[in-house]
Amino acid sequence: MLNKIIILLIGIQTILGVKQNEDQTKALEIVLKFAEFTTWNRQMSEDFIILVAENDDSKYEKIKNYFENQKFEDKTIKTIKLTNETLITEADVIFISNNTDINFEKLSEKIKEKQILTITTDKNMLSKGCMFYIKIGEQGVEYLYNRHAVIKSGLMIQGSLLAPVHEWN
């Protein structure tokens, strides 16, 4: 009986792990989709730089591997783990996982007026000034945006992303 329970628990953990990986992959696909709907009014670097705020090194490596052979427009995607030493101003996108301990208020001071798209899977980051929150759920992809943060960023975001139904209050 105990063996069956242990096997069942291992099976459930495996299924949950696969589901989490699928959700993370979908979230990363959405990051690129949101970038496609964005125009930067500044000189872009040779690479498309995505900074990733993720505490778990193995999850960061999976994110890095996902973007490794991808391109954004004609640019190679360069993924960098966000740390206190990271040169933030070169970033095009900052992706913040929901388990990170990042101080977004401090980060937003460093990136203000730099035209950096900020996307998170932590809904609490919206109140701190992050532009977009994405959630992968049973109904598919759900997202909210912080209108003030979008305007403040100076980025041109296509109106189809900024529908009132998705505005965070």
Domain ranges of the chain: 2-166
Predicted pLDDT at 5: 41
C-alpha to C-alpha distance for 143 and 147, rounded to whole angstroms: 13
Q: What is the mean pLDDT of the chain?
A: 83
The tens digit of pLDDT for each residue in 45-96 reads 889 999 999 888 988 999 999 999 889 998 999 999 988 767 787 899 999 9
The tens digit of pLDDT for each residue in 113-137 reads 789 999 999 999 999 999 999 998 7
Q: Which residue has the tokens 């965070």?
A: 168
pTM listed for this prediction? 0.83
Q: Where are the strands (E) in the chain, listed by range? A: 38-39, 48-53, 71-72, 75-81, 93-96, 117-120, 132-137, 140-145, 156-157
Name the CATH superfamily for 2-166: Response regulator (3.40.50.2300)
Predicted pLDDT at 138: 78
Q: Are 49 and 91 in contact (CB under 8 A)?
A: yes
